[in-house]
Amino acid sequence: MEAKTGPPVDRVRESVLRMIQYMRTNHGENLELEVRVGQFTTDNQFHPGYTHEHLKVINRLLQRMQHNTEHETMKQHWSMEDKYMVMRCEYDKGVRKTCRPTFPETYMVKKRVGKIDMITDRQYHLRFSLSRETAIQLTRNHHLYDTVKRNPPKSVRYLLRASFVEKVPSLSGDSADDFSFQWDISKVSDTASNKKKSTESPCTYHCEIEVKTKLLPLADKEKEHQQDCLLADLLIARSKALLGTTYLQKDQPPRSLPPAKLVILTKDV
């Protein structure tokens, strides 16, 4: 369903709020709400990540995140994981295999439930995605076993990732009302057909924010709505921090076009 009234930012907020409410209603599912930076092609395809020419944006983001983990008044709300390498293989039927050193390989099926595309006045734009992630145990009798084990992956990518976790304390002082966000900054190889080619391919730099708070229904519906509105505002404000400072010149033609729809929600796409 598409939001049709109000200024663009208000429509984005309304749609993010609906995503958050959907997560509460379907809290038994493993749902992921994330924001990514990218560009749109002329046929409205979304390409995530910054190109190498905007590496300075990535370096500034990393420096800011690192500063947050070290600053005396902020470090209590910020933490950082050691950088780590991930290999990700994608197969037919939405199956994704993830391999990380010293961790067992994992398999999941990821299906998008909804998306919101937020067009900015800069060279890069934002996509909010709500996805359902279903972990699978790939035994021989699993119906997806042959899809993975007897076919090559459609694509292989390597990711070198730095992750930061931000905890936003509630005004009420009740830790149950806190929100948590994960900031991921990754150097990602272009998709390739095998491991060797993926290590030789060019790279882009992906920036994402994911809501890590487990959203459960509250008995107090007024408080629930207030919390959902606050979370929507916090997520939108933080998503803008992912954007670089390069604006389009007035005489410069746009490098990307807005998508045909603002929102597709409550159905698989």
Condensed to tens digits (0 to 9), the pLDDT of residues 23-82 reads 999 999 999 999 999 998 877 789 999 988 888 889 999 999 999 999 998 999 999 988
| Torsion from C-alpha of 138, 140, 144, 145, nearest 10 degrees | 90
pLDDT for res 1: 38
pLDDT for res 197: 66
Give the containing element (helix H, strand E) for 18.
helix 8-25
CA separation for the pair 247, 185 (Å, rounded): 21
Q: Count the Cβ atoms, other than its own, within 10 Å of residue 222.
A: 8
Angle between helices 221-240 and 8-25 (to 10 degrees): 130
pLDDT for res 269: 35
For residues 139 and 90, is the Cβ–Cβ distance under 8 A? no
Residue 232: pLDDT above 70? yes
Of the candidates 155, 154, 180, the one whose C-alpha atom is nearest the C-alpha of residue 167 is: 180
Residue 265: pLDDT above 50? no
The one-letter code for the residue type at 3 is A
In this predicted model, what pLDDT tens digit does every residue of 112-152 receive, in sequence order? 999 988 888 788 899 999 999 999 999 999 999 999 999 88
Of the candidates 185, 217, 172, the one whose C-alpha atom is nearest the C-alpha of residue 68 is: 185
Q: What domains sit in the chain, N to C, each tagged with a CATH number?
A: 8-264 (3.20.100.10)
More confident residue, 85 or 260: 85
Q: Kindly state the tokens that stand for 147.
A: 């899809």
For residues 109 and 93, is the Cβ–Cβ distance under 8 A? yes
What pTM was computed for the model?
Answer: 0.84
More confident residue, 159 or 201: 159
The one-letter code for the residue type at 204 is T
CA separation for the pair 231, 151 (Å, rounded): 42
How many helical (H) and strand (E) elements, i.e. helices and strands, does the chain have?
A: 5, 11
For residues 90 and 107, is the Cβ–Cβ distance under 8 A? no
Residue 46 zone, left/alpha/beta (φ > 0; ψ -120 to 50; rest)? beta
Residue 141 zone, left/alpha/beta (φ > 0; ψ -120 to 50; rest)? alpha
In this predicted model, what pLDDT tens digit does every residue of 7-20 receive, in sequence order? 567 788 999 999 99
DSSP annotation of 215: -
For residues 256 and 125, is the Cβ–Cβ distance under 8 A? yes
In this predicted model, what pLDDT tens digit does every residue of 180-189 receive, in sequence order? 999 999 999 8
**pLDDT class of 22 with cuts at 50, 70, 90:** very high
